[in-house]
Amino acid sequence: MKFDTPAEPNAIDQLKVVGQPLDRIDGPMKTTGRAPYAYERHDVAPNQAYGYVVGSTIAKGKITSMDIARAQAAPGVLAVVTAQNAGPLGKGDMNTATLLGGPEIEHYHQAVALVVAETFEQARDAAQAIRIDYAPADGAYDLAASRDKAAKPEKLTGGPPDTAVGDFDGAFAASEVRLDETYTTPDEAHAMMEPHASIAAWNGDELMVWTSNQMIAWARKDIAKTLKLAPEKVRVSSPFIGGGFGGKLFVRADAVLAALGARAAKRPVKVALTRPLMFNNTPHRPATIQRIRIGASREGRITAIGHESWSGDLEDGKPDGAVSQTRMLYAGENRMTTTRLAVLDLPEANAMRAPGEATGMMALEIAMDEMAEKLRLDPVEFRIRNDTQVVPDDPGRASGSDPQGKAPSAGGDSNQRRAFSQRKLVECLRLGADKFGWSSRNPQPASTRQDGLLIGHGVAAAFRNNQVVKSGARVRLDARGAIQVDTDMTDIGTGSYTIIAQTAAEMMGVPIGRVTVRLGDSSFPVSAGSGGQFGGNCSTAGVYAACVKLREEIGRKLGFNAADLVFADGEVRSGGRSVPLAEAARDGELVAEDTIEFGAIAKKYQQSTFGAHFVEVGVDPFTAEIRVRRMLAVCASGRILNPKTARSQVIGAMTMGVGAALMEDLVVDKRAGFFVNHDLAGYEVPVHADIPHQDVIFLDETDPVSSPMKAKGVAELGICGVAAAVANAVYNATGVRVRDYPVTLDKLIEKLPSAA
């Protein structure tokens, strides 16, 4: 199905099942321990052996010698795999570094060997017997020290690395009020509960991999490329994933080494990365340095806005897209963004929940508050005053009419600029301010005390683009009138099983209990996968497309006029005639398969999601300990397919935002080039005691430009801006402005107002 015009009224609009706050259908399996995660697939392949990964103890250099003889002779050992005996290997398209290092070492804890044994303990013990000599080389591990050497990357995800509109330098210099500040964000880890884990088994030259991976088609392709196999020789299964956050978008060492170990041991092998290897061997969110300049009139209209960002990665890596939201979020005729990438010899940097906007808004939304203070404007009002209904960095690309044919108004922006399909940022800010009680906030920092604490309130806008990716599904009707959906879409805790079942139930007119959903298998039609907050909208749109085909086939089978078919209550109705749905499959099941493909409409309008975050904190005036007291998120994200699962995604994202604001910091050993706090004891993330009551409000909206579902993504929008809202609240509480994340007590304590 080609989606190239705005969605008309359709069966989804009934909202009998879609849009309802239904419990997750996979919940009972997960709460009773019956959901099969990758490492626990004991039933899929008999006689599984255990693999233990050995990581490099240098960050850059070469292996000069490796003695594996003692490990091979250790009790229970079946094989030891290294780059020397693994055979020729390729590198996946999505990998920056090779997944099995040697003799060249590209980063600390790069996998250099796998020991396979009868038990995990035997494999781990034998791994300690491997003797490796290295020739270390000097490396670059400090972003600040490498800033001047950073270069313009070839491209930035979602656009060019640099943009310019108008005369930024001239307008900034002439602005009546100016801000010029630099902000930093540290390296961050995904730190998901489930480790990267895989089981691999060979059947002749065919490979089966049960793994924890968000993007099945990508995984299949890159495993095949790395092992130099034809893709049709590889099958990947990942029905349940215990957290990903972008860290499992790409194939990692566990999957490739499990396959190599299984080939060497001639039996199935399971591999899980230990927690330190998860931090140093798999991707992380890179640190950033961001300079933001804003010029404005005394009335609070932005006249110039510039955002420069520096981040680092391995050779041939990618930059963080911290400037991306600044190109679209606020009006201003004179604009500039630049992105620079430094080559660092740290572990690979790559996508983490809301890559780009999550880090960029940590800086931009503090800068907006600082500018509002200079202008003596309420920070909510300052943001509203600089709203725009067209893309300010995109002059003259389209006529600018909205999906309903109305010309956009944009506070001085040209009507020839590309319009947003929906943009309700102002509504989010105003509704959030009202529900949060923003009007009672004391704008004077360090002026409110309660229960012995300094109390502060902060706000930030939320922004994340809505991406659309083609997605396929297969839908089956059996003689019982039951529906089965097959798609390689994954569920990383987001509720994919449930919203896909809701979509099929709505389209086919059956209760959700009559729908079975099978996910995460490369033998199923290729879906959008889980990433970029495109998964829910696009995968359900693919199911919608397949259901449209199945409905047409059912109509033909039953002799109906397909134009006026109604599917409801387990029946098919048309022109006063009603037939049980099961009747259509009496002579055999009916199967339909289709893929949603997004046409030019995806480029004609700018599709984005918007929101507002409000936070209250309390700061101990003696110790500078920070406690978040309450939080509110208001989201405008198209049709919400399941308010219960969507709320769970947003409050989880808000929690991650608190972590980014107050505690998360992968500390780099700048001599040896590794992350020191590479476990959940040293790398702090929020726990239940850190998180107060959280409120989430979804605006009642649909976006017919996005998909037939009229939905958009929401799971990453929830993290965008949260950290800045917390930091702004801390400033309001204490009068101390911290521009280097995380906002920890040592950065406050010497500057706090008197505790008396």
Write the DSSP assignment of 728-755 as a string of letters: HHHHHHHS----BSS--GGGTGGGPPP-
Higher pLDDT, 176 or 411: 176
Around Cβ 734, how many Cβ atoms within 10 Å?
A: 24
Nearest by Cα to 473 from 206, 709, 713: 709
* 483-486 sheet: strands from edge to edge: 2-3, 590-598, 471-477, 483-486, 515-518
Q: Over range 512-539, report the average pLDDT.
A: 98
Residues 86, 87, 92, 95, CA torsion sign:
positive
Segment 431-457 shows an average pLDDT of 97
Angle among Cα 393, 394, 400 to the nearest 5 degrees reads: 130
Mean pLDDT of 714-731: 98
| Max Cα-Cα span within the chain | 84
- Average pLDDT along the chain: 95
Q: Which pLDDT score is estimated for 395? A: 64
Active site residues: 716
Give mean pLDDT, residues 218-239: 98
Asked if the model's pLDDT at residue 226 lies above 60, the reply is: yes
Is residue 411 very low, low, confident or very high in pLDDT (cuts 50, 70, 90)?
very low
pLDDT tier for residue 562 given thresholds of 50, 70 and 90:
confident
Predicted local distance difference test score (pLDDT) of residue 417 = 86
What 3-state class would DSSP assign to 335? strand
Three-class SS of 434-471: HHHCHHHCCCCCCCCEECCEEEEEEEEEEEEECCCCCE
- At residue 406, the pLDDT reads 39
Residue 621 is classified by DSSP as: T
- Report the SS3 class of residue 571: strand
Three-state DSSP at 643 gives helix
9-54 pLDDT tens trace: 999 999 999 999 999 999 999 999 999 999 999 999 999 999 999 9
Inform me whether the pLDDT recorded for 408 exceeds 80.
no
Contact 505, 512 (CB under 8 A): yes
β-strand partners of 2: 597
Q: Rounded distance, CA 279 to CA 394, Å?
A: 38
580 sits in which H/E element: strand 577-580
**Count of helices and strands (H, E) across the chain:** 16, 30
Whether 631 has a pLDDT exceeding 60, the answer reads yes
Mean pLDDT, residues 609-619:
98
Task: Give CA–CA dist 16/577, Å, rounded.
Answer: 22
Q: Tell me, what's the pLDDT at 410?
A: 37
Give pLDDT, residue 755.
Answer: 73
Q: Crossing angle, helix 357-375 and helix 643-662, to 10 degrees? A: 70
Structure confidence at residue 701 as a pLDDT band (50, 70, 90)? very high
pLDDT of residue 480: 97
Give the list of residues 6+ apart from residue 264 with CB closer than 8 angstroms, or none: 78, 79, 80, 81, 85, 116
For residue 2, give the amino acid letter.
K
Q: Output DSSP code: residue 433.
A: H
Q: pTM surpassing 0.85?
A: yes
Residue 575 has what pLDDT? 87
pLDDT band at 749 (very low <50, low <70, confident <90, very high): very high
- pLDDT higher than 50, residue 248: yes
Say how far apart CA 248 and CA 236 lie, in whole Å. 14
How much of the chain exceeds pLDDT 70, in percent? Answer: 97
CB 255 within 8 A of CB 211: yes
Query: Domains in the chain and their CATH numbers?
Result: 2-32+468-603 (3.30.365.10), 357-387+423-466+607-751 (3.30.365.10)
User: Could you give the percent of the chain with pLDDT greater than 90?
Assistant: 94
CB 625 within 8 A of CB 745: yes
Reported as a single tens digit per residue, the pLDDT across 484-518 is: 999 999 999 999 999 999 999 999 999 999 999 99
* Interatomic CA distance for residues 398 and 395, integer angstroms: 8
Question: What is the predicted pLDDT for the residue at 731?
Answer: 98
